A and B are shown apart, each in its own frame.
Chain A
Amino acid sequence: MTAPVREFMRHEYDHCLNKRFTAVANLSYCSKMIFRDDGFDGIIIFTSLLLQMGGYSVKKTMQLFASFVLLMLGLGKADAAYTLNLTQGVTKISNELYDLHMLILWICVAIGIAVFGTMFYSIYHHRKSKGHQAAQFHENTTVEIVWTIIPTLILIGMAIPATKAVIDLDDIEDTEMSIKVTGWQWKWEYEYLDTGIHFFSSLDEESNQARQIGSGIDPKSVPNYLLNVDKPLVIPTKTKIRFLFTAADVIHSWWVPALGWKKDTNPGFINEAWTYVEEAGTYRGQCAELCGRDHGFMPIVVIAKEPQEYARWVEEQKALATAAANAAEQEWSKTDLIEKGEALYVNNCASCHMADGAGIDGTFPALTGSAIVTGDMNGQVELMLNGKDMMPAFGTMFNPVEFAAVATYIRNGLGNNVGDSIQPSEIKDLQASLAD
């Protein structure tokens, strides 16, 4: 191998390793090398990557088998809070569905015992090695009619409670309040139609950091790993609530097992479902319809509060909204903006543009050194306000303070050093000037 190739390899190798086996980047990068650039070097790099990945896998598997042995010995079981069965949930419907589930499960178990019992009796007794002579019958109309009719009757028996449950699920009238849920890649937007409260809810920062590839953070050390959000949906107990579902980009599905159902959110269309939660508590769920790269990272947290407490929460939210409006009038220091912006960037931007701003080749552009970021401030702000291609319009998602913070952070973090900053009030003016 020549010295330049070795140098080149080392560089590219580091590049791949920094991304820690982000296979899309590796594969597309290496394929580019193999098919477009210098084929031989590409193959060397590709092979060495595979060897690296293999070595890592072997090491990991050894560790995992060791932990499995511990598990078998009952030593690793300290945190085993697993469940085997469907959640019973906290609504009348979810309990009805649980009962229905158990009914069908037991019917299946009973049929299973009968069929497999017969089969294994036959396997044990009707063996050639035991000298059993084969009978030669090959049909019996009576038996065949019986085993067509009995299953049909069982099915009818199952269909009756199932029909009732379908009708109960559909009983959406006489609701007391409505919440609109919009699915985004990859967060949820909640809008309380009656009080005007409106916010976005995305994966909490702690989970988000831990779930980055090679983060070095043990998910077990994160409370409610991947099932926690920055801002949960709060609902009152003992209130019939109507949910309206739609999506802003692709299809998602809103699912909280404790409520007993999930519902798809279709872009351009509206769906509805309802719930009536008896008990106060925190109920967690996830997006259930594949919606792209971070489908696994848009959890749902519903906090059900007693009606009085809920009313207090509503007041708080209104006060917060006023405070946010006031904050937008204040002068912010550049360091404060950058600090606030970094946290927002991690939660809202890093899943596409990556935590280090490097983007993903061919899919999501890099922000580090990007011409738009290092260019005129207004150009960047306008792109952020309006969105482009897969990027949503953040004008509706951030308040002016958040907006200014993220814009400033991107220009002064992620390896960029433009040096300028923008004030929330300027963002407001810009939005207003665009709106007038």
Chain B
Amino acid sequence: MNEDLKQKNTRLIKKLMFVVLGMFGFGYALVPIYDVFCDITGLNGKTAEEAVQEGVYQVDVSRELTLEFVTSLNKKAPLKFSSEVKKMKLHPGKYYTVNFYAENLTDKKMLARAIPSVTPGLAAEFLKKTECFCFSEQEFKPLERKVMPVRFVIDPKIPERFKTVTLAYTFFDNTETSVKN
């Protein structure tokens, strides 16, 4: 009887520990799941982290969208950062290039990363970038000023209801963390 109970308890503990470990793993699994979830729902307006192949789209001249550019700095990024234009009208399907400017204000080497974010979030997947400084970490020499073009197209499949789309970049200074790695 007692031997039996002991076995039953051990079996149960094993099963429950399995659940516990599984749930701990699940917590970590939420990280990639979240990315997938963001892609589907447009949460946080994440754009693709890699360049897309330059495809050919039918230019839709009948439609005009407004694209706004927003440049921000994290508070620990001693940079000057701006875009060539703040706002532009554009046709879906047509390729455009916009220059962004960033200057290192320090007399030290700096590694900085720009994080893109699009709003409305659901429009993010229709904004295709073939060239962007945000795909990789940017290295700035002391006091260097960089001109960084972004080449992109708005997929004509973008739903009618989107009329204004905002593309935002925030620069973060990663010098410390990157050097350590």
Contact = CB atoms under 8 A, between A and B. Distances in A.
Contacts of B117: 246, 268-270
B70 interface: yes
Interface in B149-163: 161-163
A244 B166 contact: yes
Contacts of B106: 382, 386, 434
A214 interface: no
A434 B107 contact: yes
A369 B62 CA distance: 67
A218 interface: no
Interface stretch (B5-13, B49-57, B73-81, B125-133): B73-81
B163 A435 contact: no
B170 interface: yes
B145 interface: yes
A360 interface: no
Contact of B78 (A180, A249, A387): A387
- Chain B, interface residues (CB within 8 Å), range: 20 to 34
B59 interface: no
B119 A182 contact: no
A175 B120 CA distance: 13
Contacts of B45: 269-270
B105 A173 contact: no
B74 A268 contact: yes
Interface residues of A, number: 37
B159 to A, nearest CB: 11
A395 interface: yes
B137 interface: no
B77 A393 contact: yes
Contacts of A386: 78, 105-106
Interface in B68-99: 68, 70, 72-78, 80, 86-87
B162 A173 contact: yes
A331 interface: no
A435 B145 contact: yes
A248 B75 contact: yes
B163 A173 contact: yes
17 contacts: A178-B68, A180-B70, A193-B86, A194-B87, A246-B170, A248-B74, A249-B74, A267-B74, A269-B117, A270-B70, A270-B166, A387-B76, A389-B76, A393-B73, A393-B75, A431-B105, A435-B103
Interface of B: 44-45, 68, 70, 72-78, 80, 86-87, 103, 105-107, 115, 117-120, 143, 145, 161-164, 166, 168, 170, 172
